[in-house]
Structure 1
């Protein structure tokens, strides 16, 4: 129960406006629903989970198309063990190879193969369509540059 209002309110947290409350409540739903919706489309149309697609895209953007496993885990926002499972599945399909790090024989790099790059090119249109359908189309009329800047501030 809130404190009695007989005395002037002491400085404290400012209650959320209805608009602020709506944003705060929608964000956790978005964080869970968006990846699931994209993954559903990717599995239905490409038989490629979105986690694997993301690993392929990050490897394709990396210099030499390779990343240390720990760096791949970081950019994919996954645990190292989860990334290892994803890379193992991609390796079994011939999309990725694991090779020892030249700089540190204890470490491993994930390397995107030419077959993996072609698979990424094949899957990209489905991912793009899913991102547009499940997310970007719902932002019509908003200043996306401003939204991106605000989201980046929150993330950092």
Structure 2
């Protein structure tokens, strides 16, 4: 019998509960945070994340490949997203002067203004819908678990 023909390792009741509550809870959380930003400020959660990442960088710019990695998205998806954001005046794309091959995304003044306006709404949502529901110890466990998951996925992606 080959490994593909072997009986799968079924999840027990506790494992299934953990998996399903994670899937449903994280989906509901992301949907709510997106809806709050979209309804109040006309910005998507995905766009907000890009604005945040750029705002944290020196000169408020970074390579598109690094940006895609930082927001856990494909280069293609981030490229389309940044193109749309560029049309809205929130970011600019520039050639990297260091090597001429890379492309940089850069936050504009309009993009920074959008971020400053939307940040209180997003932070209130993050606090209300997850941070304030956890004890500090639970927050630390959550961070450790997902650090481990991300490390595993990055290492097994090669």
TM-score by length of 1: 0.80
Between Structure 1 and Structure 2, the one with more helix by share is 2
**Number of aligned residues:** 143
Matched residues in 1 for 2:136 and 2:38: separation? Answer: 30
1:108 aligns to what?
103
Structure 1 gaps of 5+ residues are: 1-12
Does 1:69 find its partner at 2:69? no
Paired residue secondary structure (1:56)? helix
Matched residues in 1 for 2:99 and 2:32: separation? Answer: 39
Report the CA distance between 1:94 and its aligned residue. Answer: 1.7
1:40 aligns to what?
35
Q: Pairwise CA RMSD of aligned residues? A: 2.1
Residues 34, 15 of structure 1: CA spacing in aligned structure 2 closer, same or farther, 3 A cutoff? closer
Report the CA distance between 1:34 and its aligned residue. Answer: 1.7
2:85 aligns to what?
90
Structure of higher CA gyration radius: 1
2:123 aligns to what?
128
Deviations 1:23-71 (A, max 9, x none): 2221111332221111011101110001100000000112221111111
User: Contact 2:131 / 2:139 at 8 angstroms: preserved in 1?
Assistant: no
TM-score by length of 2: 0.79
Structure 2 gaps of 5+ residues are: 1-8, 152-158
1:21-36 correspondence to structure 2 within 5 Å: 21-36=16-31
Does 1:154 find its partner at 2:149? yes
Report the CA distance between 1:142 and its aligned residue. Answer: 4.8
Paired residue secondary structure (2:89)? coil
Does 1:139 find its partner at 2:151? no
Paired residue secondary structure (2:146)? helix
1:7 aligns to what?
none
Matched residues in 2 for 1:50 and 1:79: separation? Answer: 16
